[in-house]
Structure 1
Amino acid sequence: MREKIIHKSAELFLTLGFKSVTMDDIANGLGISKKTIYQHFDNKTKLVEATTLNMFNNICDGIDCICNASHNPIEELYDIKMFVMKYLKDEKTSPQFQLKKYYPQIHQQLQFKQFEKMHVSVKNSMQKGVDTGLFRKNIDVDFISRMYFNGMSGIKDKNIFPSKLFTMEYLTESYLEYHLRAICNEKGLQTLDKFTNKHNLN
């Protein structure tokens, strides 16, 4: 039952937002009593914590699968972006923004976990790009992987990038291209242009 509660909570949180969803909404969605939820979670904060951790682990598993199956680091980054956006339902309810506002401690813990995961995977991806001759050989892989994480976090700041002006799809697409064009060599740029033209990303 605990897993069912987490699964339904994630679905509702991503659709309606962390603030909007009540314990009653989750209970009604599962056809159970609120008391049953409280047998597994002391309060909504504990449920949010368990749900976000579960979502994070699922995303990590998906990213690992993409990295293991990728043909090149350029496609890999685009595939990861598409997977995460689809999983988070294009972030239409701004889950990270709401988490930061209403559950700051959980957001901080999650941010650290995201950095640890993303730093390693992006670092490996960039090293692969250098080794396969797609990225410039003189790039500082560790520095740029940190900058990439910082940028991806920064575009979610609604004060700087208000949703009435920018969709999350546009922001992630634009930032990813900005990042890749900064580190690709001539061969990499040709590969990037070929990929974006094929998928109508220009």
Structure 2
Amino acid sequence: MKEKIRDTATQLFLERGFKSITMDDIANEIGMSKKTIYSEYSNKTSLVEDCVMNKFCILSDGIDLIIAMEKNAIEELYEIKKYVMSHLKDEKSSPQFQLMKYYPKIHKSLKMMQFNKMHKCVLLNVERGLQQGLFRDNVEPEFIARIYFTGMNSIKDLTIFPLEQFPVKNLMDSFLEYHLRGIVTPKGKTILNNIINSNQE
């Protein structure tokens, strides 16, 4: 029962935002009484927290599986981006922005978890790229990992990148290309261009 409530609420929150969706909306979507939801969750905040943390764990496990496939470093980043995008819908409601505004404590915890996960993943990715001769040997992995996280958070700021001007998918593609073009070797550039060209076909 709890899993059904959480899964339905997560889908609604991602589609329409944390602020817009009420407990009534969730109850109606599942076809149960609001009282049943409150028997599992004391309030909306506890439900939001459970949804957010569960989604983070699912994404985190999926990213680990992609990394375990040991693709080349450039393909790996595109596979991770594709995987994350498939799970976060189009983010038309900008759930991350709403989370920060209406549930700051949950957002703060999530951001720290995201930093730790992304920091570790990007460090491993840069090291792999260096070993494969795809990234320049004078890049500083620690700097790259931190600037990547900072950039990824900045593009989620709707005041800087409004959705109507910067659709999420295009923005993610542009950011990833921007990131990679700054660190690739000529060998890496060839792989990057091939991926970009194949994505445009």
Q: How does 1:1-202 map to 2 (within 5 A)?
A: 1-200=1-200
C-alpha distance in 2, partners of 1:93/1:73? 31
Letter in 2 for 1:40: E
Letter in 2 for 1:155: I
Unmatched tracts of structure 1, length 5 or more: none
C-alpha distance in 1, partners of 2:83/2:50? 21
CA-to-aligned-CA distance 1:76-111 (integer Å, 9 cap, x gap): 111111111110002121110111111111111100
C-alpha distance in 1, partners of 2:20/2:199? 36
- TM-score (ref. length: structure 1): 0.97
Unmatched tracts of structure 2, length 5 or more: none
C-alpha distance in 1, partners of 2:159/2:145? 24
- TM-score (ref. length: structure 2): 0.97
CA-to-aligned-CA distance 1:6-31 (integer Å, 9 cap, x gap): 11110110111111111011111111
Letter in 1 for 2:126: M
C-alpha distance in 1, partners of 2:133/2:2? 47
Query: How far apart are residue 2 of structure 1 and its match?
Result: 1.0
Percent sequence identity over aligned pairs: 52
Cα RMSD (Å) of the superposition?
1.0
Off by >6 Å, runs of 4+ in structure 1: none
C-alpha distance in 1, partners of 2:2/2:165? 39
* Pairs aligned (count): 201
